[in-house]
Amino acid sequence: MEKSSSIPLRPRFQIDVEENIDSVRQKFVEHKTSISAGIFMKIRNYHIQYTFSGERQKYWSPHLSIDLEEKEGNEKNATHIRGMYGPAQTLWTFFMFLHFIIAGVFILFMMFAFSNAMIHKPFTNDVIVMTLMVFCWFLLYFIARQIRTNGYDQMRELEDEFNKIIP
């Protein structure tokens, strides 16, 4: 996974393993006791989540969510692993909330501008607010890219920890 050329803010991966889903899950359970310091692993059924804990936890620290699924057609002798790197759920929810607020304000002022244009009133202020909302949207995007860049080294640590279990 390259740092600068990948576009998604929440990188994903998929791996197929020729092992039973329960034996793959058991590998994660066994590895939980010997996990690196500062990394926390939570296992719930067939969902595993890696996070940073203690002083290593920053607002930009990534999380690795892994889902184990039985691969179809192999008589339950293979496992499909889906992984996704992302920010903390609260940070992601906050960013999505800001996106919806910005979109709502943009649409509201677009309606005001259209109404004012129809009744031949000036709508310059409405267009200025709409332009500011577009600027805010780009600003949020670049902030999210910067957060991802800040967490890139920790993302590599989580990937290395995952690769200890599934090479």
Q: Please name which of 93, 100, 103, 78 lies closest in space to residue 17, comparing C-alpha atoms.
A: 78
Output the pTM of the full model: 0.71
Cβ atoms of 88 and 61 within 8 Å: the answer is yes
Does position 140 have pLDDT exceeding 70, yes or no?
yes
Q: Do the Cβ atoms of 53 and 149 come closer than 8 Å?
A: no
- Judge whether residue 48 has pLDDT over 60: yes
Q: What is the pLDDT of residues 87-133, one digit of tens each?
A: 888 888 999 999 999 999 999 999 999 999 999 999 999 999 999 99
